[in-house]
Structure 1
Amino acid sequence: MGNAFPKKMKAQILCVGLDNSGKSTIINTLKPTKEQLKELNPTVGFQAEQFTFNSILFTVFDMSGQNRYRSLWEYYFDVCFGSHNCKKNF
């Protein structure tokens, strides 16, 4: 007999990109309205966020885009399901 309560799907996402490219804004937009921040500050180091979107439990690592923190990015690639690179186009 099957499980009446299937496991919630989980995803770990790494969000990397240059400073001020919109990484934190994209993550904030995906969060439920009641959890969204009204004002965002530049990320220092990294922020780990966890929220549910479309019945999927997301753990998102929002990596600072500042040059001095970019060396941290590689340490998070192996724990993530996917990654998104935010890039400004001029």
Structure 2
Amino acid sequence: MESYVDAGSPHAVNTAWAMLALIYAGQVERDPTPLYHAAKELVNMQLDTGEFPQQEHVGCFNCSFYYNHGNYSNLFPIWALGELRRRLREKN
């Protein structure tokens, strides 16, 4: 049986994935407000070095193998923030 467990704090990679899904679904054109909130969360998570924190695993493969690529924590947040900026510039 699966159940939802609240992590208690935002997760950079999951936030970025959600942002990208909303962006590609056209949220920028409808109402970018939720994306602004997500972007603010990501920016606030960013470390002084410019990187994003390595957080707990976000998923598993075959329900037994956890895969954590070291660059995931940087790649997806930067991609999401960059894509949001690009789409907002196109809109204006």
Do the structures match in fold with TM over 0.5? Answer: no
The answer to which structure has the higher strand fraction is: 1
The answer to which structure has the higher helix fraction is: 2
Q: TM-score, normalised by structure 1?
A: 0.27
Structure with the larger RCO, 1 or 2 (CA within 8 Å, 6+ apart): 1
